[in-house]
């Protein structure tokens, strides 16, 4: 029997998940940034700022940064802002529509940045880069969409140089009583409704909520990161566990 995986709450053949995920992000690409602001009440900007404060690009030597599932460039632009003319940021995404939005935003944004950008269409499970070629790897709100998470983690480990840092920002498990109930109600009732009213389609937003509920809890995911070979794997919960930052080092 064909291997299966989760697509939100549904079981789908492993080989078919990526095409479904791609269809979701193709549909939402042009409204992605607006919807992020609406659904998180602007909180995603704060989470991303905290996340990027952990990258600390060197300003004295060449710093190569890879942002996987980089979509419309939110993380890449923050790294560029923290960096210098010696910073090179590669934004990688499997979805051409999301990358087009990122390129469009970079043309507006790059005037203020000294860092160099490159946009690459590829799969997190098969990175088209040499071993040991990046100083840092980030993935924000991306890993839960990847069908073979362990393969993506192994690739992250492969392309980082020794001493390189892995950082992941992802929705996680709320572990604060009452907040967990409120969050669940908000996720399953309000988010699909915002999707219907603003984007005219609730299906992609229902997938979003279901995929969050299905993603492993922070402790288990930390185990996956250590299992991929990263040292000092750890995590920090933000906003009561709505999201978590996981990190590890290739040593
Ligand atoms: N990182 C951005 C942010 O924080 O705003 C975008 C996150 S968006 C929720 C998820 C992104 O993951 C989409 O752009 C999607 O195309 C991308 N994605 C899904 N599966 C992928 C894969 N296998 N490899 C690379 N990118 C993937």
- Tell me the three state secondary structure of residue 155: helix
The atom of ligand 1 lying closest to the CA of 70 is: 1
* Nearest residue to 136 (alpha-carbon basis) of 250, 213, 10, 50: 250
CA dist., res. 170 & res. 186, Å (int)? 18
97 lines ligand 1 (CB under 6 A): no
Q: Are 91 and 119 in contact (CB under 8 A)?
A: yes
pLDDT at 62: 96
Q: Which of 6, 47, 93, 155 has most ligand 1 atoms within 8 Å of its beta carbon, as the pocket-test mutant?
A: 93
99 lines ligand 1 (CB under 6 A): no
What distance in angstroms lies between residue 179's CA and the mean position of ligand 1's atoms? 27
145 lines ligand 1 (CB under 6 A): yes
Give helix 14-28 / helix 203-214 axis angle, nearest 10°.
130
Across the chain, which has 251 residues, the per-10-residue mean pLDDT values are 74 81 87 88 96 93 97 94 94 96 85 86 98 98 96 98 98 94 93 89 89 94 98 97 97 97
Maximum CA extent, the chain: 54
What distance in angstroms lies between residue 70's CA and the mean position of ligand 1's atoms? 6
pLDDT at 165: 98
The atom of ligand 1 lying closest to the CA of 36 is: 5
Q: Which of 7, 69, 127 has most ligand 1 atoms within 8 Å of its beta carbon, as the pocket-test mutant?
A: 69
* Nearest residue to 66 (alpha-carbon basis) of 126, 135, 122: 135
What residue spans of 113-199 are helical by DSSP H? 149-159, 179-185, 191-194
Q: Are 141 and 168 in contact (CB under 8 A)?
A: no
Q: Are 126 and 155 in contact (CB under 8 A)?
A: yes
143 lines ligand 1 (CB under 6 A): no
What distance in angstroms lies between residue 143's CA and the mean position of ligand 1's atoms? 8
pLDDT at 95: 96
What distance in angstroms lies between residue 17's CA and the mean position of ligand 1's atoms? 13
What distance in angstroms lies between residue 60's CA and the mean position of ligand 1's atoms? 30
Which positions ≥6 away from 98 have C-beta within 8 Å? 25, 29, 32, 71, 72
The atom of ligand 1 lying closest to the CA of 95 is: 16
What distance in angstroms lies between residue 93's CA and the mean position of ligand 1's atoms? 6
What distance in angstroms lies between residue 159's CA and the mean position of ligand 1's atoms? 18
What residue spans of 95-148 are helical by DSSP H? 96-109
The atom of ligand 1 lying closest to the CA of 99 is: 14
């Amino acid at each position: 029997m064909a291997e299966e995986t989760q697509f939100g709450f549904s079981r789908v053949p492993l080989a078919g998940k990526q095409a479904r995920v791609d269809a979701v992000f193709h549909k939402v690409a042009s409204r992605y940034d607006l919807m992020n602001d609406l659904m998180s009440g602007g909180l995603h900007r704060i989470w991303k700022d905290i996340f990027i404060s952990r990258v600390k690009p060197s300003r004295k030597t060449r710093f190569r940064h890879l942002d996987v599932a980089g979509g419309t460039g939110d993380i890449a632009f923050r790294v560029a802002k923290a960096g210098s003319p010696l910073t090179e940021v590669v934004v990688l995404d499997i979805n051409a529509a999301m990358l087009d939005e990122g390129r469009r935003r970079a043309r507006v944004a790059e005037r203020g940045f000294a860092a160099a950008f490159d946009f690459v269409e590829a799969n997190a499970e098969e990175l088209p880069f040499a071993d040991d070629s990046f100083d840092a790897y980030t993935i924000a709100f991306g890993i839960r969409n990847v069908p073979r998470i362990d393969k993506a983690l192994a690739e992250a480990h492969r392309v980082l140089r020794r001493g390189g840092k892995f950082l992941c920002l992802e929705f996680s498990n709320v572990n604060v009583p009452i907040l967990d109930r409120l969050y669940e109600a908000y996720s399953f009732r309000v988010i699909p409704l915002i999707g219907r009213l603003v984007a005219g389609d609730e299906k992609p937003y229902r997938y979003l909520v279901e995929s969050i509920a299905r993603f492993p809890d922070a402790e288990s995911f930390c185990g996956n990161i250590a299992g991929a070979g990263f040292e000092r794997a750890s995590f920090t919960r933000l906003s009561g566990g709505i999201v978590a930052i996981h990190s590890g080092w290739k040593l």
